[in-house]
Amino acid sequence: MHPLLRLVAQRLVLGAGTLLVVSALIFAGTEILPGDVAQAILGQTATPEAVAAIREDLGLDRPAWVRYLDWLAGFLRGDLGTSLANRVPISEMIAGRLENTLFLAGVAAAIAVPVAITLGVIAARFRETWLDKTISIVTLSAISMPEFFIGYILIFVFAVKLFWVPSIASVFPGMDFLDRLYAVSLPVATLSLVVIAHMMRMTRAAIVNVMASPYIETAELKGLTRSRITLHHALPNALSPIINVVVINLAYLVVGVVVVEVVFVYPGMGQLMVDAVAKRDVPVVQATGIIFAATYVLLNLTADVLAILANPRIRHAR
């Protein structure tokens, strides 16, 4: 077997193992949530008889491990189960939401990744100058603030004071692409501000690291300009760590959006998960949790594989 294939297979098995552990953790976590789904479904209209009827109806009277195995088996068949609260298949509930979350993450990535790498290259090229320092200070300040805080500041300035963009990201099926982009402008800005710093710093560090190599000195002695050296000689060799950090941030854009979706009332997976927690709709919480975990594991796997492909030294490891 080709060593690369073997490596990928190995990572896949590890990923599957991680997911299994995560699934057990998610299940255990939702088990110990206080409150009761029957009570939550009925709200203030819950009488003890109605609660007991619903509990029995939903099979909540069976032991936890039986329900776990049941759920896991269903999941492996691709059956995410049905929502406890309204009996709708979860895959149906999630489909549109996942699409929305991926759209938001995609737009944010399309802006944040090029901006971060460009800033990183500039910072490395003009290392230790005022430009480098300004870039670092600005991006690091943005990452130091919690997302909801950045979100509220952006809402206050650009929506409430300037009326440039909407404060809530209301999207719905059938909306055309440009309207949709306009609607998500603030959440995209918030997410971008949060992820840019990490990628920018890593790009800068990777390039700076490569710039210390002897072959860069040779290039300098050949009389090449610093910009040319940075872009053509240093960047390609720094790609491996950069790809790694970019992909990890992509994973963050998908799974870390819960707070941003709530702040901007964006109908994505995060909002769905928060709703489900409030309603004690355990199967939905579990399904969203597993999807988030799977996204994370998959993207990390991709990061590993891409880093290997981009780095001949790892590719031909002996």
> b or e along 276-288 (b: 16 or more beta carbons within 10 Å of the residue's beta carbon)?
bbebbbbbbbbbb
- Compare residues 13 and 53 and give the one whose CB is closer to other proteins: 53
Q: Which residues contact 79 (CB under 8 A, 6 or more apart)?
A: 91
Asked if 69 interacts with other proteins (CB under 8 A), we say no
Residue from 19, 123, 248, 263 that binds other proteins (CB under 8 A)?
263
Asked if 265 interacts with other proteins (CB under 8 A), we say yes
Asked if 93 interacts with other proteins (CB under 8 A), we say yes
Q: Per the structure block, which two tokens stand in for 35?
A: 């409150």
Q: Which residues contact 82 (CB under 8 A, 6 or more apart)?
A: 88, 89, 90, 283
- Compare residues 96 and 311 and give the one whose CB is closer to other proteins: 96
- Polymer length in residues for the chain: 318
H-assigned helices in 48-173: 48-57, 64-76, 90-125, 130-144, 147-154
Q: How far is the CB of 275 from other proteins (least distance, A)?
A: 4
Q: How far is the CB of 284 from other proteins (least distance, A)?
A: 7
Helix 130-144 × helix 185-211 angle, to 10°: 130
User: Is residue 266 classed as helix, strand or coil in its secondary structure?
Assistant: coil
Rounded to whole angstroms, the Cα distance separating 80 from 94 reads 10
**The tokens 């670092």 sit on which residue?**
136
Residue from 1, 2, 5, 47 that binds other proteins (CB under 8 A)?
47
Q: How far is the CB of 98 from other proteins (least distance, A)?
A: 13
- Compare residues 54 and 245 and give the one whose CB is closer to other proteins: 54
Residue from 26, 58, 80, 85 that binds other proteins (CB under 8 A)?
85
Q: How far is the CB of 54 from other proteins (least distance, A)?
A: 7
Interacting positions 173-202 with other proteins (CB under 8 A)? 173
Within a 10 A sphere around the Cβ of 108, how many other Cβ atoms? 28
Between the alpha carbon of residue 274 and those of residues 2, 278, 289, the distances in Å are 44, 6, 11
Residue from 155, 184, 206, 297 that binds other proteins (CB under 8 A)?
155
Provide the CB-side half-sphere exposure for 181 (13 A, CA). 7
Asked if 43 interacts with other proteins (CB under 8 A), we say yes
Q: Which residues contact 317 (CB under 8 A, 6 or more apart)?
A: 3
User: Would you give the distance in Å from CA 253 to the centre of its chain?
Assistant: 3
- Compare residues 46 and 131 and give the one whose CB is closer to other proteins: 46
Closest to 119 (Cα-Cα) out of 48, 173, 192 = 192
Asked if 32 interacts with other proteins (CB under 8 A), we say no
* Stretch touching other proteins by CB under 8 A, among 11-19, 131-139, 162-170, 200-208: 162-170
Asked if 262 interacts with other proteins (CB under 8 A), we say yes
Q: Per the structure block, which two tokens stand in for 36?
A: 């009761």
Interacting positions 283-302 with other proteins (CB under 8 A)? 284
Asked if 86 interacts with other proteins (CB under 8 A), we say yes
Asked if 91 interacts with other proteins (CB under 8 A), we say no
Q: How far is the CB of 155 from other proteins (least distance, A)?
A: 5
CB distance 287 to 81 below 8 Å: yes
- Compare residues 272 and 299 and give the one whose CB is closer to other proteins: 272
Residue from 27, 71, 264, 292 that binds other proteins (CB under 8 A)?
264
Site residues for other proteins per CB under 8 A: 33-36, 39-40, 42-45, 47-48, 50, 53-54, 83, 85-86, 88, 93, 96, 152, 155-156, 159-160, 163, 166-168, 170, 172-173, 262-265, 267, 271-272, 275-276, 278-279, 281, 284
